[in-house]
Amino acid sequence: MEATNAQQPTTQMPAAFAAERTLGRLAQWLRLMGFDTLSEIEYPRGSFMPHVGPERIFLTRRRLLREAAVGLKTVFIQANDPKEQAAELVRKAAIRPEHLHPFTRCIRCNERIKAVDRAAVLRSVPEYVWNTQTQFSACPKCGRVYWKGSHTGRALTQLREILRAAGIDEEDQMILN
């Protein structure tokens, strides 16, 4: 995208996003996909925009913010539902399945998660999880622990639905298997 309030798709992989307050759930989906995504809901009111640098694509649903975001790469999101918002962004930013790196960022604080020793999470996970899982990851910033449970499969199914809604066919989605 150009360094203006452009709406045309880009052919380069979007490196990072910044989602304004009304797009908090979209920000979580982007983090789940593996994108570096700032979310305004994590900042005190009025302090977010200075953190949105020119390397980020600013996402907004508010016309006033779109007009005020002069000099920023901006995508105006029209959909109301978070999954529809994600599909809309996939289309507008020309995101491809090979750009995705699911389950590599903390959905709470955006930090890259890291593999950790199983013993390190003994007191941080439910007993059933401890007894059934052998691989864990954790966020080095907030400490949230992740593992591959049934929620992982459900999230991948929903991610495939988002890509399908964006016009990406099943064959191109094979990278998510």
Question: Could you read off the pLDDT of 111-158 as tens digits, one per residue?
Answer: 999 999 999 999 999 999 999 999 999 999 999 999 998 889 999 999
Strand partners, 2: none
Q: What's 64's DSSP letter?
A: H
Q: Write out the residue limits of the CATH 3.40.50 domain(s) in the chain.
A: 16-103
pLDDT of residue 29: 96
Q: How far apart are CA 89 and CA 52, in angstroms?
A: 18
Q: Strands, DSSP E only, in 2-159? A: 16-19, 36-39, 57-60, 73-76, 114-116, 136-138, 145-146
What's the gap between Cα 90 and its chain centre? 11
Domain 16-103 part of CATH 3.40.50 = yes
- Count CA within 13 A, CB hemisphere, residue 50: 5
In the predicted model, residues of the chain with pLDDT beneath 70 are 1-14, 66-70, 170-177
Helices (H) and strands (E) in the chain, counts: 5, 7
Strand partners, 145: 138
pLDDT of residue 71: 76
pTM for the complete prediction?
Answer: 0.85
Are 108 and 139 in contact by the 8 Å Cβ rule? The answer is yes
Phi, psi at residue 41, to the nearest 5°?
-65, -15
Dihedral over Cα of 103, 108, 111, 116: its sign: negative
Around Cβ 136, how many Cβ atoms within 10 Å? Answer: 23
